Structure 1
């Protein structure tokens, strides 16, 4: 008989300051959105119990500070991650351009056993802003980047409206699960 112990899946959320990492996590776990911006200091995490294919899992979602001064905290937080979520703001070009840096930094710090196949998921957040009129990064541009990095799954989201947040985290959980060693199953 298979063990019924609950498996922990560790997910790290990375991206520039202000792209909505904390808001996405809070929307998914607590169904809450706060209009007041408060920068994350260091890192924080929330957990959510999920069921997938008749098994229970604890999704441990780590929210990291987007400021460069906290990037040295990386090693401790990144190690043991099962999936990395890269977030950008569709209205801020620099946040999209910085995805390369966040991805590289994660791979260097986390030292996954198979960096070429490590699961990433990309979220283009704040699609609701200004009715979509402030957008500077098209979905097509983002998809092309994701394809160039090995077909990374991509979702456009709105933490404020809750748009596509559950679908994105479902994909994140599935990808984290794929990364778990077989013997733990």
Structure 2
């Protein structure tokens, strides 16, 4: 397939299986949500044109499977990432506890030139579930973790209702732009749809 010259910002979404990574991506790119959960196999991506400071960029959002057998997807998958999004389910403590593992996995595999300052964004998803009564990870606790990791921007979202999804991805794109460069890329035809979620937000760039 011929390569196309364009300004590409590569974003990778990591997190446990079922936290709503695919739903967040589909809500942002396609404004669609599906209640039917379908586990992502390996990795998939969607693209969306975004305008930042009067320039047009292609945001290439890579969605990964949260299952352990797919965690080590190889250096090629992580290479060239401009921003990494860490997603957890505010109703599942384990998914929050695993954020550090996902962050470390990314830094090891991607080997960014400046790991201390590489842009991450954290999303606490599914805040809509059970009217918030099922929540086990407080916003305060999540923000404290983000602060301890270098003041990572934090958003609370609902992929199902679209809450804060747009705001989160605008912040993600702006952070990606800090490391992004024009690259010659290949755009294979692949898309996937999947999980459930919901939100509220705070803080960015």
**TM norm structure 2:** 0.85
**Where has structure 1 moved over 4 Å in runs of 4 or more?**
none
Residue segments in structure 2 that go unaligned for 5+ positions in a row: 183-205
CA RMSD of aligned residues (A): 1.1
Give the Cα separation in 2 of the matches to 1:55 and 1:181: 13
Listed one character per residue, the Cα deviations across residues 47-91 of structure 1 (whole Å, up to 9, x for unaligned) are 000111110000000000000101121422111000000000000
Give the Cα separation in 2 of the matches to 1:58 and 1:180: 11
1:90 aligns with 2:90: yes
Give the Cα separation in 1 of the matches to 2:60 and 2:107: 19
Q: Does structure 1 retain, via aligned residues, the 8 Å contact 2:13–2:62?
A: yes
**TM norm structure 1:** 0.94
Give the Cα separation in 2 of the matches to 1:76 and 1:180: 17
Matched residues, number = 178
Residue segments in structure 1 that go unaligned for 5+ positions in a row: none
Bigger RCO (CA 8 Å, 6+ sep): 2
Q: 1:180: how far off?
A: 2.3
Structure-1 residue corresponding to 2:22: 22
Q: Does structure 1 retain, via aligned residues, the 8 Å contact 2:90–2:125?
A: yes
Higher normalized helix content (fraction of residues): 1
Structure-2 residue corresponding to 1:71: 71
Structure-2 residue corresponding to 1:38: 38
1:163 aligns with 2:163: yes
